[in-house]
Amino acid sequence: MQFGKVDLRDWFKAIGIGIVTAILLSAVMVPASKFGISPLPKPLGLAFAETVMGRSLPLPVGLIFHIAYVVFWSVLFVVLFRNDLRFRNALLLGMGLWLLVLVAFFPIVGWGFLGLAVSSKLIVAALIPHLLFSIFLWALCRGMFK
């Protein structure tokens, strides 16, 4: 892997891509949670924020945590793969983050390893947004970094 040169304009593009990706993901995940489609007890960003803060919080706080997380990984993707923004690399990142959620974030918020303390359905429920993350990230990068 050869790291690409990332100038100031690229940093702003990467941050914008992260924000748009987070908004698109939230537009899918929040309704899925509100309408009971998602087996997650609550949005993971909110559960993590509540765990960190040690108290119940409103959904917008969880969304802020989620946006920060997605922007971070989106910017890192652009920095690491500036000259190779292929779907394969976005998918590898998304699958790596999915595994991170299963083995680290789910246990941190009390849902157990792989989310099994809640339901085995959490494994697939976490996979879907990470696949969407990969698709959105790749498509937005493709549009912004022609």
Residue 139: its pLDDT value, please? 97
Structure confidence by residue, pLDDT tens digits, 86-137: 999 999 999 999 999 999 999 999 999 999 999 999 999 999 999 999 999 9
Is 2's pLDDT higher than 80?
A: no
Confidence of residue 61 (pLDDT cuts 50, 70, 90): very high
What string of DSSP letters covers the chain? Answer: --PPP--HHHHHHHHHHHHHHHHHHHHHHHHHHHTT-S-SSS-HHHHHHHHHHTS---HHHHHHHHHHHHHHHHHHHHHHHTT---HHHHHHHHHHHHHHIIIIIHHHTTS-GGGTTT-THHHHHHHHHHHHHHHHHHHHHHHH--
Rg from Cα positions in the chain: 15
Mean pLDDT, the chain, integer? 93
Q: Does pLDDT of 19 surpass 50? A: yes
112 with 118: CB under 8 angstroms?
A: yes
Say what the pLDDT of residue 89 is.
96
When pLDDT is averaged across residues 62-88 and rounded to a whole number, the result is: 94
| Amino acid occupying residue 3 | F
- Provide the pLDDT confidence category of residue 4 given band limits of 50, 70 and 90: low
Domain-by-domain residue ranges, the chain? Answer: 8-144
The contacts of residue 102 (CB under 8 Å, 6+ apart) are 113, 114, 115, 123, 126
- Asked whether the predicted pLDDT for residue 83 surpasses 90, the reply is no
Q: What is the pTM of this model?
A: 0.91
